[in-house]
Amino acid sequence: MTQRRPDDPHPALTGASTNTFAGVLRPTLVPSLRPWAGGRLGGGAGEHWVAGPGSEVTLTDGRVLTLDALSAEAGAALAGTRGLAMYGARFPLLVKLIDAGDWLSLQVHPSDAQARRRHGPDAVGKAEAWLVLDADPGANLVVGPRLGVAAGAVRVAISAGTMDRPDCEAVAARAGDVFNVAPGNIHAIGAGVFVYEIEQPSDLTYRISDWGRPAVPGRSLHREEALEAVRPEQQAQLVGSNWQLAGGVLTTPEFRLELVAPNSAAAARRPAGQTPEIVTVVHGEIVLRGDGWTELLRTHETAVVPAEVAAYEIGGDATSLAAVGSLP
């Protein structure tokens, strides 16, 4: 299943020699109701949710299903044995492209335990990681509370609604940097930053501050929830730079992220029933080759390789790079 621009008639990814999952994956566009939306993604969209539970797949038999619905139908063949163990027959990952023309809200995400307490037994927390695809000169990321500020002072500022940029630890956004952002970590993406984001299949976000923007429906603050979720001592961790991950891979309890050069050792992939793999082209062009199928992906396009695929290969020229998200 391959994500394409809404107007792109490119043929679909077979996904497996059985043609089980032949279809075209459409990105979910999050339009300009995001007051911070930039212009890189076009159409006023601040985000493309390129692969996640709500992403729609147009199958070759004419049906249109979300990845969640397809996972419920196909089980481990799509979601993998690891996906079933973690979430049941649901699609177990979410990948986004985020283009910030202005600062995103200052926010924090819950753990699985907090998500279940507040939102029900099927709720999922939100661990995530960022890969900076591009950044304007002077662009920044908030990676936590300002270093040296006491935990009690952070909680007081959240409760009072006074937390602002001087209270935050900001770092320069540089293309090729990767940050691991665990649940409880205060964070924000700054103006001029274009980010690939992988996360749990959840959009539970607690806003601490919207930087003084007028309150509008759907963009309220969540002080009580944020106070429960926040870990004031925590900072997002820089885990990669210059398009390389420290140790070659980021593995968390919730997801696995690799940056894969074509024809490298890591380019020989083996989902083998365990996990789906979400392949997003960071730059260049990538060719996926499996048993009886091939698929060309251009910059920022995405394919979902179902878990039932025994093996496939990521090919292309030496200047290309793919981000591959999967389950640990």
What CATH number has the domain bearing residue 138? Answer: 2.60.120.10
Work out how many domains the chain is built from and give that number: 1
Positive or negative, the CA dihedral 200, 206, 212, 213 is positive
How would you classify the pairing of strands 293-297 and 321-326?
unpaired
Query: Higher-confidence residue: 24 or 142?
Result: 142
pLDDT-based confidence at residue 12 (cuts at 50, 70, 90): very low
- Is the residue at 15 inside a domain? no
- Range 183-205 average pLDDT: 97
Task: At 69, give phi and psi (nearest 5°).
Answer: -65, -40
- The answer to whether the CB of 204 falls within 8 A of the CB of 125 is yes
Q: What proportion of the chain, given as a percentage, has pLDDT over 90?
A: 80
| Mean of per-residue pLDDT scores for the chain | 91
- The answer to whether the CB of 44 falls within 8 A of the CB of 99 is no
pTM: 0.93
- Is the residue at 210 inside a domain? yes
- Is the residue at 131 inside a domain? yes
- Is the residue at 98 inside a domain? yes
- Is the residue at 120 inside a domain? yes
Positive or negative, the CA dihedral 253, 250, 45, 206 is positive
Count of residues in the chain: 328
- Is the residue at 45 inside a domain? no
Positive or negative, the CA dihedral 32, 194, 270, 60 is positive
- Is the residue at 12 inside a domain? no
- Is the residue at 169 inside a domain? yes
Query: Higher-confidence residue: 320 or 16?
Result: 320
Q: In this predicted model, what pLDDT tens digit does every residue of 46-93 receive, in sequence order? A: 899 999 999 998 888 888 999 999 999 999 999 999 999 999 999 999
- Range 307-315 average pLDDT: 95
Q: Which of 210, 215, 201, 198 is nearest to 72 (CA)?
A: 201
The owner of tokens 């690799």 is: 258
Domain coverage including residue 108 = 94-247
pLDDT at 10 over 60: no
